[in-house]
Structure 1
Amino acid sequence: MATTTPTKRRSIWQLAWESLQTGGPSMCQFAITSACNARCGFCNFAVDKMPKEQQRFVTLEQAKSAAENLYHNGIYFMIYVGGEPLLHPDLNEMIAHASSIGMAPMIVTNAGLLTPDRIKQLAEAGLVSVIISIDAAEVGKHEENRGLRGVCDRIKIANQEFKKYKIGTTASVTMSRLIDDYQALPPFLTELGFDSVTFSYPLTTLASSYLGYAESNLVDYTPEELNERFEAVKVLKKEFHVVNPTSSIEDMQRHLKKEPEQFGCLGGWKFFYLDWELNLFRCHNWAKPLCHVSEFDGSQRVRDGCTACMMDCYRDSSVMQHIAVSVSDGFKSLAAGNINQAFQDWFNQKNWLSLKSVIEEAKWLPRL
């Protein structure tokens, strides 16, 4: 049982000041285990695809040491993922420790192991937000793909419990052939207790150690088919809170058409992926690690405007954080006496699109 007292979260004003100085807070997705209890057809973490002898778990001390080094090098949001992070016996302690040193810990889960008692423990440890995976717009399809019978009832209860502790939850829906009609999602998600959704764009390959992909007909789309689904998501935004910014979705449509994209990814600069071997990557789709997490001192950061992939968790966040990075760039240019560069940093179309995206998600961002 975690007993560490959570640290008070940073206020919106503290985050705004940090944005002026450094371009805003950084985030790391930490895969603390490769084990999972689900059988998703579009994921190689699936329990029936991962031999037990290949399952990996970081130790509590490794997780604490990694968190401390990342925090001292500017990482604020720590997102614990797997596999299924709730399978890790030390997750509560990891969250408590991360919270105690000043981080904002989050989890991504299938909710199959959530109970009211476990949720109470997570809340007491300092958890700030939860993302719960949803695969379809009906109970039968979702539970069949997950191989988790009764998980939708668990999700309903979990959403009720998290609200008691003022912990926000968001549904994460993979764009797959399990969803025939995107208009059917809002009533289903509302019934489960969600008021927001983020769409995960389909992945059939990744270059890093992360296994959240699979060669499956469920996610094997032609560019034209995927573009149609992006259009459906944009329509859905008019009636339900979709977290993916419109500007990011439109950039992904440009990506499909091989057109120039508006926003480069901040993976490796503001966003990172840490695996169970403690290798730190710029993102899930980069083959070579930046370094071992113990060696990370900020000098390994990369900012090159990459547009190589369509990973929503990196590309969406990059669009919203673009303006903070640009404002910070402008102040640095001004401090160096380069007034013209400062104005170019501050006043450009990308900043207005980024600001529009932030305003678009203004109701959702405070739950982080």
Structure 2
Amino acid sequence: MDHKNRGTLRLVLEEGGPGVCTFAINNACNARCGFCNFALDKLPREDWVYVSRKGALDALDILYAQGIRYLVITGGEPTMHPDLGVIVKRGADLDMKVMLVTNGGLLRPERIRDLVTAGISSFIISIDAATVESHERNRGLPGVCDKIREANRQLKELKIHATASVTMSRLVDYEALPGFLESLGFTSVTFSYPLRQLGSSFLGYSDSHLVDFTNEELDEAFERIKRLKKRFLVLNPTPSLEEMQRFVKHETQRFPCLGGFQYFHLDWHLMLWRCHYWEKPMCSIYEFDGSQRIRDGCTRCMIDCYRDSSVMQYIGVSVHDAYQAVRAGKLGEAAKAITRPANLGSLRAILEELPWLLRF
């Protein structure tokens, strides 16, 4: 199927909505985070890998042809990649919404201007704690908070939005967090759920005590985040937080993950994965033609970027299923798809996050 030049409505009807891909363009990092195996003091420099310029540009063309419209560039630390601006520009030229995940340590004013000129849509900047001292100590990046504050000031002038990304760890003081984020210039936050093991090449996990929680502790942390929504714009939808509480309680979940169907992970070797958690890649990006898509109702993990997005796109997939059923003359199946109980939760998630979604 030719996926080029298709609008959002057609993508919803034909595929369940526009696709999303996280693209780890390198595994190198300049930070020393205690809960991450990309850390400078954990991954030897001789093992650092940067995706080639040609490979990255080829990959974006292929992803776009397969309906990917949202690109999340990550690493490692992606600002260490010498071709970052070129990669951003290709994504923007394809009319993708390009987001950059960074620790902010290399966000100098001229670099920010270059990325904005290239077409970046938004920044996601990592924050680990509610004080300068605790955050910079965990990151191993002295002075990074001043750089983040200045970056946010500049981005506001350029009308580009930045969101704080906070890993749920033992460093987080949820009560003090909103004031600290505001002092750095943030107006929104997204929480990354703690990861202690992954099966893919992605190293954004650790068995550190910082992310070692009991299920009861995780349940309470999700409650704190839900309460935090009354004080600060939290981008994790409430229905998704409730889903993660069901996950840690081993209860039946309502929203299957769309990893491998609408959401993908591409690594620095140009291997395409259904998500960070899965043990086996789907294929090389050069082999990706859509036939490898997987939709099996997976609920194995609690990776926020897949699970949160899957909640919001659930209703889009239901519309897709109904449309395809009508085309096949299966009106009963179409009615079942439209009346799925979880559609209301998905719609609730979309409405809750609408102020952020409209920024795109």
Match of 2:66 among 48, 55, 73: 73
Contact 1:104–1:127 under 8 Å retained in 2: yes
Report the Cα distance in structure 1 between the residues aligned to 2:206 and 2:296, rounded to whole angstroms.
28
Other-structure match for 1:58: 51
Shift of 1:101: 2.2
Q: Which runs of 5+ in 1 are unaligned?
A: 1-9
Alpha-carbon distance in 2 for matches of 1:188, 1:102 = 34
Amino acid across the alignment from 1:327 = V
Q: Does 1:280 align with 2:266?
A: no
In the alignment, structure 1 residue 90 sits paired with structure 2 residue 83: yes
Partner of 1:4 in structure 2?
none
2:122 — aligned with what? 129
The question of whether the paired residues in 2 share the 8 Å contact of 1:129 and 1:168 is answered with: yes
Q: Which residue of 2 aligns with 1:350?
A: 342
- The correspondence for 1:156, drawn from 149, 154, 158, is 149
1:340, distance to aligned residue in structure 2 (A)? 1.2
Q: Would the aligned equivalents of 1:129 and 1:367 in 2 still touch at CA under 8 Å?
A: no
**Counterpart selection for 1:224 from 200, 212, 216:** 216
Whether 1:197 and 2:189 are equivalent positions in the alignment is: yes
1:270-299 deviation line (CA, Å, top 9, x unaligned): 000011111100000011100000000000
What is the TM-score of this pair, normalised by structure 1? 0.95
Mapped contact 1:128–1:367 kept (Cα < 8 A) = no
> What is the CA distance between 1:240 and its match in structure 2?
0.9
Question: How much has 1:53 moved relative to structure 2?
Answer: 0.3
Give the Å deviation of 1:302: 0.2
Q: Which residue of the partner structure matches residue 19 of structure 1?
A: 12
Contact 2:11/2:67 (CA < 8 Å) preserved in 1?
no
Q: Look up the match of 2:201.
A: 209
Question: Is 1:185 aligned with 2:171?
Answer: no
Alpha carbons 1:320, 1:354 under 8 Å: kept = yes
Aligned length, in residue pairs: 356
Write the distance in 1 (CA, Å) between the matches of 2:97 and 2:352.
Answer: 22
Q: How far off is 1:14 after superposition? A: 4.4
Superposed displacement of residue 17, structure 1? 4.8
Cα RMSD (Å): 1.3
How high is the sequence identity, in percent, across the aligned residues?
Answer: 55
Q: 2:258 aligns with which of 253, 256, 266?
A: 266
Deviation at 1:164, TM superposition (A): 2.2
Within the alignment, does 1:145 sit opposite 2:138 as a pair? yes
SS, match of residue 95 in structure 1: helix
Q: Gaps (5+ residues) in structure 2?
A: none
1:23–1:326 contact (8 Å) kept in structure 2 = yes
